Amino acid sequence: MAGPNIIVIGASAGGYEPLKTIAAGLPKDLDASIFIVWHMSPDVRGILPQVLNKYDRIPAAHAVDRETIFPGRIYVAPPDHHLLVEDGQVRVTRGPKENRFRPAVDPLFRSAAYFYKSNVIGVILSGALDDGTSGLWTVKHRGGIAVVQSPLDAEVPSMPDNALREVDVDHVVRAAEMPELFVRLVAQKNGRKAITDDVDDVRLRREIEVAAEDAAIDKGIMDFGELSPFTCPECHGVLARIKDGNFSRFRCHTGHAYSPDTLISAMTESVESRLWDAIRGLDETIMMLNNIGDHFAEHDQPQLAGKYFQKANDARERSDKIREAIFSHEELSNETIREEAAIEYVVSEPDNASAADRSN
């Protein structure tokens, strides 16, 4: 394999243990540079490098912007920063969030695929929703190797499941098997060629530049997709639908990006927030109407006071209906809908079987 070997790893919920398992099993002389994005809260102190260094294998540290890439190193995305790679150097930036995270998996994978093509091994570990699916597709599309933790081995299988659904994955293995797999893949020559065209190259480069803090609107990012009827849950800008093969994703003109699963989750979460805003407005209206009614009652104007009290009661009835809507509201994702459909199928299957038996 000509050029440096690049291993990019993405993990979210449930990713802590497999990351430790991988670090503990890596040989010290592995001829590869490893980059890790693990979703975390922006106000959490990043402890992953210290944890990985306890195994005394490959040294790990939080990445530093524009440091040189060396083999035999683990570069970890710092909290609240995207981790990208360029030709021979690391980028650490605060570009727009993707899939509601910074760091996000997709920007790292895209940047590695753009600059290192078939020298990249992309790895998806345990996590919720589907960050990393688009990035892994890009790794595979540009000649790299796609590796996914077995969903049966993952504490939270959504990220592996979604990657397997959308990407022609090369290897599905347990976390404990990955160190040996990396050794074999690094030793082999990957003869795949990238499947690209000029438009694809330009779009990919500009998306990397957006993650690297360039203004998305100046990069013409909206020109690479079709305008959708949806708006960005974070900034309320119009979202353009971008296609990665058969996989659709969305990006707004300020740069925020969403996979379908993350967009559904964000939309349904924002519905509850807006309903609570409506209740707050109605509650304030109720208090104000009652306050004015009390004022007129104190000044011996009972008919006018009664009208204000009536309007306050009308507002309370509307508020109660919105509360009922909130308590019946679901925060959805593709995963929860698929699980519900699977349960309904299993429950209904015996009845179908009985009907078939009766027909015989």
Given 39, 81, 141, 256, the catalytic residue: 39
Given 12, 111, 134, 319, the catalytic residue: 12
Active-site residue, 131 included:
yes
Active-site residue, 12 included:
yes
* Distances from the Cα of 118 to the Cα of 4, 138, 165, 184, 232, angstroms: 10, 11, 22, 15, 34
Given 106, 131, 153, 261, the catalytic residue: 131
Active-site residue, 126 included:
no
SS3 per-residue string spanning the chain: CCCCCEEEEEECCCCHHHHHHHHHHCCCCCCCEEEEEECCCCCCCCCHHHHHHCCCCCCEEECCCCCECCCCEEEECCCCCEEEECCCEEEEECCCCECCECCCHHHHHHHHHHHHHHHEEEEECCCCCCCCHHHHHHHHHCCCEEEEECCCCCCCCHHHHHHHHHCCCCEEECHHHHHHHHHHHHHCCCCCCCCCCHHHHHHHHHHHHHHCCCCCCCCCHHHHCEEEEEECCCCCCEEEEEEECCEEEEEECCCCEECHHHHHHHHHHHHHHHHHHHHHHHHHHHHHHHHHHHHHHHCCCHHHHHHHHHHHHHHHHHHHHHHHHHHHCCCCCHHHHHHHHHHHHHHHHHHHHHHHHHHC
Tell me the two tokens of residue 4.
């440096």
Neighbours of 352 (CB within 10 A): 10
Neighbours of 198 (CB within 10 A): 7
Neighbours of 211 (CB within 10 A): 29
Question: Which residues are tagged catalytic?
Answer: 12, 39, 131
